Amino acid sequence: MNDQEIEIIDSLNRSQKIKNFFKNNLKIILTLILLILLTIFGYFVFKEFQEDKREKISNLYKNTIINFNENNKNKTISNLEDIINKNDDTYSPLALYFIIENNLISSQDKVNEYFDKIIYDLNLNKTIKNLNIYKKALYNSDFQSGDELLKILSPLIKSENTWKSHSLYLMGEYYFSKNQKQKSKEFYEKIVKMKDANKDIKLEAQKRLQRDFSD
């Protein structure tokens, strides 16, 4: 038997093995193909469902804020709370901001509960999450103690981020308004020493130090 004949026989054997494999595993192969097709189909169905769901949330938010007036205040609050509870990355925070800007909910505990929901339950990118931490502190600055504000702002003050200088300035202004000038001065000085501080915030801190703390 020459080499060419051996090669032909080997080729035939391989072909037969492949045929036998598919024949013996036909059910498994068909099942795998079906699972793949179902997965692809399910992905597109889920994606379409999510897009449809988000469009409904978007329309609800837009219609709610456009039609808001004192006569439908309760309905507005109900719609906005519903949007918050839907855990949408875009419209849940916007709904809470609208509630705060228009003083629709008087309960500070309820507003803080919604802030925590947005900060900790939503899959926000880090910058937006930090923005909401800052907004929570800003909201609480009128009625919480300095220690409570520091507790809220701790994640921003203790790390390098976009809202660090804003947070330090908020604490400086808070203590300045309470006539605790030494404490406020420490926060302004921290801003001035920062390399990456917001330029406008840094300028305001420098003005405050020169105007109110110069000897």
pLDDT band at 209 (very low <50, low <70, confident <90, very high): very high
The per-residue DSSP string of 39-92 comes to HHHHHHHHHHHHHHHHHHHHHHHHHHHHS--GGGHHHHHHHHHHHHHTT-TTHH
95-151 pLDDT, tens digit each: 999 999 999 999 999 999 999 999 999 989 999 999 999 999 999 999 999 999 999
Residue 28 belongs to some domain of the structure: yes
Domain count, the chain: 2
pLDDT of 9 > 60? The answer is: no
Q: Is residue 113 included in any domain, yes or no?
A: yes
74 inside domain? yes
Helix (H, G, I), strand (E, B) or coil at 2: coil
Q: Is residue 12 part of a domain?
A: no
pLDDT tens digits for range 10-51: 555 566 666 665 666 667 767 777 777 777 766 766 666 566
Specify whether the CB–CB gap between 179 and 193 falls below 8 A. no
Which domain does 195 fall in, by range? 152-215
Distances (CA, A) of 128 to 46, 108, 125: 26, 22, 6
pLDDT of 80 = 96
Q: How far apart are CA 164 and CA 134, in angstroms?
A: 9
Is 103 found in the same domain as 48? yes
142 inside domain:
no
Per-residue pLDDT at 70: 85
Question: Is residue 39 located within the same domain as residue 116?
Answer: yes
> Residue 146 — φ and ψ, nearest 5°?
-60, -40
Return the number of other C-beta atoms located less than 10 Å from residue 136's C-beta.
Answer: 21
**Distance set, CA 214 to CA 168, 178, 208, 211 (Å):** 20, 19, 9, 6
